[in-house]
Homo-oligomer: A and B are copies of this chain.
């Protein structure tokens, strides 16, 4: 029986233990975007440290200073967890990145079950963080645990970098990694990140590109406090109207961004690239059905995929400060902040995008000639990333997938951002690969986030097989 076959059998046998491990992780509501849950992010990091120490890892929590919230409040940033498993100088060193924080979630958002309980139903595990990114982090721990128990040698040293601010712009992480470039990161030979998803629900993939993101708050101030619309309506100028007008000028109906100079930054598409996209296994109708959308901005497969991965997109997220509950509150909000973001691609640099966006909004505001006060605030952005998928490191990933699923993976890009990917590539100057284990319908960031039990368990096998395959990468 091959090492992989032993591992595979042992993983199947331990399925309920692995689900229990994920359950404990999901039940810690480590929401990084909400100050009220900050203590839970700390708890989640310490809990994970104990799991890694049980595997023999040497752990260190790197302090990350203070976060200054927009309201002036100061709260501690969660530390970054460094862990080292093996220091054999004859072996190469793999760096594994993951995050332990999650997006906000509440039953009242429309979840069918408590988002911070792991609910098993029809072969799926529902809960916030089940797939993004607690499931994959637990899968790494599962894989190593099984190899230890079977006394199968792991052919690489493994280092972990696990953070607690990924869903809030990875604040502080880049500084910490920069500071450890010549120490903790100096001997890293390849980096693997499992924090994205298959393109579909059946076929595994390896990912070689990510979009970056720039995020903006547009603040409009009408008065010093909210005003009764009966008493003041008709005399003060409506701030929501100003904001809506600005927001109506950002994209057209086809999703095209109207910000001057933005499209000129995008790297031109090559004919070879179009051919690559044509080969990808992707069903537009299925995609529409999954999210119950009647009409996309285009029905062309290559265009849909390129709009997701290859071109920038702008999304309007909402308004802070206005009435947002059910019912009919009759207030003119005094201060509102509209939020939007732009997913960016090569060769867009956040600083350049920020300048174009601020200039464009200032130009619009001058046109608007409103008596209200206006401010635009760029949040910390992250750059896009594209790698060479012909590198032997990627081939090790592909071989692992073939071992578990009997099929070659698709090579994909992602529309989301994992800001740290580019940081690892730049600091280590070595190959970084994204090896997803979740499925396309896992609904990360949304209501009813889940991971399929099969993805979680077969994903654990892929990560173990990948560790074995790394023996062959020189």
Contact = CB atoms under 8 A, between A and B. Distances in A.
Contacts of A34: 325, 327
Given A34-B327, A227-B291, A369-B253, A318 B296 contact: no
Contacts of A237: 253, 255, 295-297
A417 B293 contact: no
Contacts of A287: 235
Instruction: Decide if the interface of chain A is mainly helix, strand, loop or mixed.
Output: loop
Interface string A211-228: 101010000001111111
A11 to B, nearest CB: 28
A427 interface: no
Given A34-B325, A168-B327, A330-B341, A229 B313 contact: yes
Contacts of A379: 328
Contact of A235 (B238, B241, B308): B308
Interface stretch (A91-99, A140-148, A442-450): A442-450
A343 interface: yes
A76 interface: no
Given A291-B232, A294-B371, A315 B238 contact: yes
Contacts of A447: 225-226
A222 B103 contact: no
Contact of A213 (B230, B293, B311): B230
Contact of A244 (B70, B104, B225, B248): B248
Contact of A291 (B223, B323, B417, B446): B223
Contacts of A89: none
A402 to B, nearest CB: 26
Q: Which of A225, A330, A379 has the most CB of B within 10 A?
A: A330
A332 interface: yes
24 contacts: A34-B327, A69-B326, A70-B326, A109-B226, A226-B445, A228-B445, A228-B446, A229-B313, A229-B416, A230-B414, A230-B417, A231-B444, A234-B308, A234-B313, A235-B255, A235-B308, A238-B315, A241-B248, A245-B248, A253-B368, A317-B333, A318-B324, A320-B324, A328-B341
Q: Which of A34, A373, A445 has the most CB of B within 10 A?
A: A445
A76 to B, nearest CB: 16
Nearest to A226: B446
Contact of A325 (B104, B232, B326, B368): B104
Interface string A165-205: 00011000000000000000000000000000100000000
Contact of A308 (B211, B232, B326, B448): B232
A443 to B, nearest CB: 7
Nearest to A297: B237
Nearest to A339: B323
Interface in A237-286: 237-238, 240-241, 243-245, 247-248, 250-251, 253, 255
A237 to B, nearest CB: 6
Interface in A291-326: 291-298, 304, 307-308, 311-326
A128 to B, nearest CB: 13
B318 A323 contact: yes
